[in-house]
């Protein structure tokens, strides 16, 4: 049985981490991942902007079954009406909205296991239409990377951080590093356009092992052109697979893509690329993210940050030396949706870049 008061309180707590529009989209992710609620114009599969999301809402709903889903839908709709009314009242009174708190790289924001029916299109209420607009970061214009640090207190590291990403991969120290152990399982995925990228949340059960530490695969997302570069030259695209350890540490496995032959594995995703922000598309068959990786498992490694606000540091980057190939048509298809969704290069600031010399 869902307690409305608890749901509302959890919404308010969650809003410390992300504004209401992004929070609504994130909560809808659980319904979409259950596939029955997914549609080409359905809800966004949106993880939090700091990219640390263990999709606890989805796991809770799966465990709870259909009754939990229905109860969550009803509770969420009521809670959103209460919150919208509260925002409208605050706007009328001239109140200032609470500044989001800073999120550390070792902390995960927990969101209430509630969902919104992504197939419903209710008429907007007066209270909902009165919700004040909140600034949303972007990759160009007034809300581009140059403005991130000034947009919200929680984004301050985007301007003041000493270990930011992406960087140019140049120089480096060659060493025989411990091989990565990729343990990805086939899964039913939903691709979503969240307005920043195309991404997919990954169900529990797949992991990456680095130096004896297991990191669970949370999601993957795509960038055009690549965010990192090699000797000053960017690649056509970059796929980033985000992982989190039991202790909360983050590891991002990155795959560069260059123009070449058509890539059948990527085409399975390209056939379902959602073109519009807010659209989600289920991938028809079980998909294994391992098919997106190059054959050569050598990597370049360094410590950096998330490449999107709040630019949290303490992220371990593992970038494959060998790129995969995508056809010009495949690259152009993604570029038509996101002409540029990459953060500019950040100063390396003396950080050590390690290059794996062997792959077994």
**CATH class given for the domain over 155-356:** alpha beta
Query: Which residue shows structure tokens 């960038």?
Result: 223
Cβ-Cβ contacts under 8 Å for 32 (sequence gap 6 or more): 38, 42, 43, 45, 118, 190, 192, 280, 282
Instruction: Return the beta strands (E) in 128-279 as ranges.
Output: 168-169, 173-175, 181-183, 190-193, 198-201, 207-210, 213-223, 229-230, 233-234, 237-245, 250-259
Q: How would you class 190 by CB atoms within 10 Å of its CB: exposed for 0-12, middle for 13-18, buried for 19 or more? A: buried
Q: How would you class 249 by CB atoms within 10 Å of its CB: exposed for 0-12, middle for 13-18, buried for 19 or more? A: middle
pLDDT truncated to tens, each residue of the chain (360 aa)? 434 343 334 444 444 444 444 444 445 444 444 443 433 332 233 333 333 333 334 444 444 555 544 555 455 455 445 444 544 443 344 333 233 332 233 333 222 222 223 233 333 333 333 444 444 899 999 999 999 999 999 999 999 999 999 999 999 999 999 999 999 999 999 999 999 999 999 999 999 999 999 999 999 999 999 999 999 999 999 999 999 999 999 999 999 999 999 999 999 999 999 999 999 999 999 999 999 999 999 999 999 999 999 999 999 999 999 999 999 999 999 999 999 999 999 999 999 999 998 765
Cβ-Cβ contacts under 8 Å for 129 (sequence gap 6 or more): none
Q: What is the pTM of this model?
A: 0.67
Query: Which residue shows structure tokens 């695209």?
Result: 237
Name the packing angle between helices 56-93 and 4-14 (round to 10°): 80
The length of the chain is 360
d(C-alpha 314, C-alpha 263), whole Å? 33
∠ CA 167-248-253 to the nearest 5 degrees? 40
Q: Give domain limits for the chain.
A: 4-129, 155-356
Among candidates 210, 197, 156, 214, which has minimal Cα distance to 279? 197
By the 8 A CB rule, do 358 and 298 touch?
Answer: yes
Q: Mapping DSSP to helix (H, G, I), strand (E, B) and coil, where does residue 127 land?
A: helix
d(C-alpha 321, C-alpha 213), whole Å? 21
């Amino acid at each position: 049985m869902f307690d409305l008061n608890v749901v509302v309180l959890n919404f308010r707590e969650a809003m410390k981490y992300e504004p209401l529009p992004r929070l609504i989209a994130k909560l809808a992710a659980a319904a979409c991942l259950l596939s029955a609620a997914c549609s080409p114009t359905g809800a966004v599969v949106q993880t939090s902007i700091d990219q640390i999301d263990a999709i606890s809402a989805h796991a809770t709903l799966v465990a709870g079954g259909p009754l939990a889903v229905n109860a969550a839908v009803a509770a969420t709709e009521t809670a959103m009406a209460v919150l919208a009314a509260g925002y409208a009242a605050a706007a009328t009174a001239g109140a200032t909205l609470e500044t989001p708190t800073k999120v550390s790289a070792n902390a995960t924001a927990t969101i209430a296991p509630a969902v919104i029916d992504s197939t419903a299109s209710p008429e907007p209420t007066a209270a909902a239409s009165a919700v004040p607009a909140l600034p949303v970061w972007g990759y160009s214009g007034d809300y581009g990377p140059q403005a991130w640090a000034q947009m919200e207190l929680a984004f301050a590291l985007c301007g003041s951080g000493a270990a930011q990403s992406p960087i140019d991969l140049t120089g480096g120290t060659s060493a025989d590093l411990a091989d990565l152990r990729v343990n990805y399982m086939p899964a039913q995925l939903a691709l979503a356009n969240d307005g920043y990228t195309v991404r997919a949340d990954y169900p529990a059960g797949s992991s990456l092992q680095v130096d004896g530490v297991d990191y669970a695969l949370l999601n993957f997302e795509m960038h055009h052109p690549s965010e990192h570069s090699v000797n000053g030259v960017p690649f056509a695209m970059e796929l980033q697979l985000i992982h989190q350890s039991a202790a909360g540490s983050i590891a991002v496995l990155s795959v560069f893509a260059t123009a070449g032959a058509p890539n059948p594995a990527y085409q399975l995703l390209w056939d379902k690329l959602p073109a519009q922000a807010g659209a989600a598309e289920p991938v028809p068959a079980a998909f294994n993210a391992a098919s997106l990786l190059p054959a050569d498992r050598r990597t370049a490694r360094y410590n950096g940050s998330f490449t999107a606000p709040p630019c949290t540091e303490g992220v371990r980057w593992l970038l494959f030396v060998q790129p995969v190939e995508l056809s010009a048509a495949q690259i152009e298809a993604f570029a038509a949706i996101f002409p540029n969704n990459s953060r500019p290069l950040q100063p390396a600031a003396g950080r050590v870049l390690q290059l794996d010399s062997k792959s077994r």
